[in-house]
């Protein structure tokens, strides 16, 4: 991703944002953004601003997610979509290759990459950081994953600063928000929704972003725009109620808290599915009984499943306590050793979507105190 953007800041109106989405489509990008669907905000193909969740907010708590109605008609008046961008880069099911036996051996047919480049509209800081973390795991090791690379290649990222964090958010703790960090092509800050001056401050951190922005009707940003954006960043940060304290700590593997949370945890794997960075997969071979062809695929797995750690016919992590311990320890503590980045971005989805109301920040806090 190029980072040689103009650094200059512009102001565009909602019409300008609509034009921006249209320009990206004309340039051959498949454009995705937040929409209201099935009583949640979730990511889907969009063609313009009318697809965005205008005037919709979200209200979350442990084990709770509700949409709310906003009076200001803000396009981005929510925290983060219920789902992360992960499925668009790393699908829940992915065929790795197919093969068929021939007279003189085996013929392999690799999977062809998707035909179109993607553009993500309205990426929150937490989710942008999530994409960078998946880049590290799947692209920057010794064995880059070509399927992720194909979807990641040429990805156009339009970030959106978060003005209304939810109660389950803790992005500031993880250094990922509420404002969007580095890595986007364009960054939007929505200003003064519900007024005639409803507009977006836009920055173009990348050359590519600057080029697209040049064709969108805009005016230069002035000090009031910058002040308003800064004030929003401050109020957003102040609105965060959850945190994970900084600094290293080593949990006691025999801490009774693990058993305590295990009694509540259902090992349902909602958290790992909702998480923007969880990448564990199960590999499977399936066969066509008619042609004799075989196919190797991967599908999202979860460390909460007993089969995840199966060895010599039995799981290493049999108890739920050991599996919850694996998930939390990996997400917060051992991931940085493995990949050089944090594992968690503080999006809080695991908290909202846990049917047992388990809160990673609360569990981490309790474990840290007794460590």
Partner 1 sequence: MTVDPMLPVPYRLLDRMPETRDTVTLTLEPVDEALPPPQPGQFAMLWAYGVGEVPISVAGLPGARRVEHTVRDVGRVTAALCRYTPGDIIGVRGPFGHPWPLESARGHDVVIVAGGIGLAPVRPVVQAILAERAAYGEVSLIVGARTAHDLLYREALDAWWREEVIDVRTTVDTPCSHWHTGSVGVVTQELHRVPITGAATVALVCGPEVMMRVVGATLVDRGVPAEQIAVSLERNMECGIGQCGHCQLGATLICRDGPVLPWASVHDLLGVSEL
Alpha carbon 327 to its chain's center: 18
d(CA 117, CA 28): 7
Task: Identify the residue among 7, 103, 115, 142 touching partner 1 (CB under 8 A).
Answer: 142
Pairing of strands 281-287, 219-220: unpaired
Q: Please give the residues from 144 up to 163 whose contact with partner 1 meets the rule CB under 8 A.
A: 144-146, 149
Is residue 294 helix, strand or coil?
Answer: strand
Q: Least distance in Å: CB of 91 to partner 1?
A: 14
Q: Least distance in Å: CB of 293 to partner 1?
A: 9
Which is nearer to partner 1, 241 or 299 (by Cβ)? 299
Which is nearer to partner 1, 108 or 249 (by Cβ)? 108
Q: Least distance in Å: CB of 93 to partner 1?
A: 14
Q: Please give the residues from 325 up to 344 whose contact with partner 1 meets the rule CB under 8 A.
A: 326, 329-330, 333-334, 337-338
Angle between helices 320-329 and 360-369 in degrees, nearest 10: 90
Q: Least distance in Å: CB of 132 to partner 1?
A: 16
Tokens of 142: 């010794």
| Secondary structure letter of residue 49 according to DSSP | G
Is residue 310 helix, strand or coil?
Answer: strand
Whether omega before 177 lies within 30 degrees of 0, making that bond cis, reads no
Q: Please give the residues from 91 up to 120 whose contact with partner 1 meets the rule CB under 8 A.
A: 96-97, 99, 101, 105-106, 108, 110
Tokens of 313: 């016919």
DSSP assignment of 131-162 equals HHHHHHHHTSSSS--HHHHHHHTT-EEEEE--
- 313 sits near partner 1 (criterion: CB under 8 A): yes
Under the rule (CB under 8 A), what is the footprint of partner 1? 96-97, 99, 101, 105-106, 108, 110, 137-138, 141-146, 149, 253, 279-285, 287, 292, 294, 296, 298, 301, 303, 308-313, 316-319, 321-322, 326, 329-330, 333-334, 337-338
């Amino acid at each position: 991703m190029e980072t040689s953007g103009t650094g200059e800041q512009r102001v565009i109106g909602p019409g300008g944002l609509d034009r921006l989405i249209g320009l990206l489509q004309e340039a051959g990008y498949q454009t995705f953004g937040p929409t209201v669907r099935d009583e949640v905000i979730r990511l889907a193909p969009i063609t313009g601003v009318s697809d965005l969740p205008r005037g919709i907010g979200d209200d979350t708590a442990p084990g709770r997610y509700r949409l709310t109605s906003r009076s200001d008609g803000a396009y981005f008046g929510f925290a983060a979509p219920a789902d992360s961008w992960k499925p668009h880069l790393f699908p829940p099911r992915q065929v790795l290759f197919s093969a068929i036996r021939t007279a003189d051996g085996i013929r392999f047919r690799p999977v062809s990459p998707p035909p179109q480049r993607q553009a993500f509209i309205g990426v929150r800081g937490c989710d942008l950081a999530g994409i960078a973390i998946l880049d590290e795991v799947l692209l920057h090791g010794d064995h880059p994953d070509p399927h992720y690379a194909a979807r990641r290649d040429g990805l156009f990222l339009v970030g959106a600063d978060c003005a209304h964090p939810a109660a389950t958010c803790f992005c500031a703790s993880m250094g990922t928000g509420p404002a969007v960090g580095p890595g986007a092509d364009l960054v939007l800050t929505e200003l003064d929704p519900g007024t005639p001056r409803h507009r977006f401050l836009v920055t173009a951190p990348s050359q590519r972003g600057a080029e697209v922005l040049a064709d969108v009707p805009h005016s230069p940003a002035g000090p009031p725009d910058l002040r308003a954006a800064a004030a929003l960043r401050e109020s957003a940060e102040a609105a965060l109620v959850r945190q994970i304290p900084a600094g290293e700590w080593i949990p006691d593997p025999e801490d009774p808290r693990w058993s305590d949370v295990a009694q509540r945890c259902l090992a349902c794997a909602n958290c790992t599915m909702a998480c923007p960075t969880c990448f564990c997969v199960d590999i499977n071979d399936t066969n066509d009984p008619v042609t004799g062809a075989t196919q190797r695929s991967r599908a999202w797995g979860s460390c909460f499943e007993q089969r995840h750690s199966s060895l010599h016919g039995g799981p290493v992590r049999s108890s739920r306590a050991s599996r919850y311990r694996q998930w939390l320890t990996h997400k917060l503590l051992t991931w940085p050793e493995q990949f050089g980045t944090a594992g968690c971005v503080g999006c809080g989805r695991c908290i909202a979507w846990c049917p047992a109301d388990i809160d990673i920040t609360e569990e981490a806090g309790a474990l840290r105190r007794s460590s």
